[in-house]
Structure 1
Amino acid sequence: MRIGELSRRTGVNQRLLRYYEEQGLLRPERLASGYREYGEDDVRVVGRIRCLLAAGLNTATIATLLPCVRDDDERLVPTCPDMLAHLSRERDRISGAIEELLHSRSMLDTVIGAGTDAGVFHPAGAG
């Protein structure tokens, strides 16, 4: 199938599919004409990529992990022994980022609260 068909079937725009190829996540065959030719498995690979991106992983990490996952009833299952340790490190990284964001939000809440108490600031929707 051509890139337009893969885009239609996966809901991922063609520009993003080309980016996945640049990052080594997709490896379509090239026809003599230069057109990309994708197979049925590429539809599943794009689904895996989207799932791993949604989990907070970057494309470099996904390129490393992609060969080590398989689909099993609508979820990804690791197939390489060292993958779990790598995923645990990624989870710790994401947890740290969440903690930093929560702290930032708390600081903003403090500033907003002080402004509201002083009559300087009226949040949108407050009446």
Structure 2
Amino acid sequence: MRIGEVERLTGVSARSLRHYDAHGLLATSRHSNGYREFADGTVQQVVRIKRLIEAGFTLETIRDVLPCVNGDRVEMCPEVASLIREELSEIDDAMADLARRRDLVTSMLIGQRLSR
């Protein structure tokens, strides 16, 4: 399957597909004319990559997790479970920081502590 077809079927740009390929996330081969040929299952693989990106994973983490993804399920070997727990911890830390910042901004508005 050529890159334009994968782009059309997944909604992911050709540039992103090339980027995923460069990071070893997609199985491709090259024709003699230099065009990429994407393997069977590429559309499903791209959908999995998109979902992991939406969850906030880096491409490096996705490279480690992706072999353990089976459809919508992740087979939890200890290494993958550790990576996912680490990501969840980072999300929790970011949420706590945002809550702290929100409280500070709210208290400034309530107390009108900001100079105009």
Q: TM-score, normalised by structure 2?
A: 0.86
The answer to whether structure 1 residue 91 and structure 2 residue 60 are counterparts is no
In structure 2, C-alpha distance between the alignment counterparts of 1:79 and 1:41, rounded to whole Å: 22
Partner of 2:53: 53
Q: In the aligned structure 1, how far is the partner of 2:49 from the partner of 2:25?
A: 8
1:67-98 residue CA offsets vs partner (Å, 9 max, x unmatched):
11111xxx223253432222112111211111
1:17-36 map, 5 Å: 17-36=17-36
Which consecutive residues of structure 2, in runs of 5 or more, have no partner in the other structure?
A: none
Count of aligned residue pairs for this structure pair: 116
Q: 1:114 aligns with which of 85, 100, 111?
A: 111
Percent of aligned pairs with the same residue? Answer: 37
Q: Distance in 2 between matches of 1:89 and 1:26?
A: 25
Q: Is the 8 A contact 2:2 2:38 kept in 1?
A: yes
Task: In structure 1, list runs of 5 or more residues that go unmatched.
Answer: 121-127
Higher relative contact order (CA 8 A, sep 6+): 2
Larger Cα Rg: Structure 1 or Structure 2?
A: 1
> Cα gap change, 1:81/1:114 in structure 2, threshold over 3 Å: closer, same or farther?
same
1:38 aligns with 2:38: yes
Give RMSD over aligned pairs.
2.1
Task: Give the distance between the partners of 2:84 and 2:11, measured in 1 at CA.
Answer: 26
**TM value normalised by structure 1:** 0.79
Partners of 2:111 and 2:21 in 1: CA distance: 50
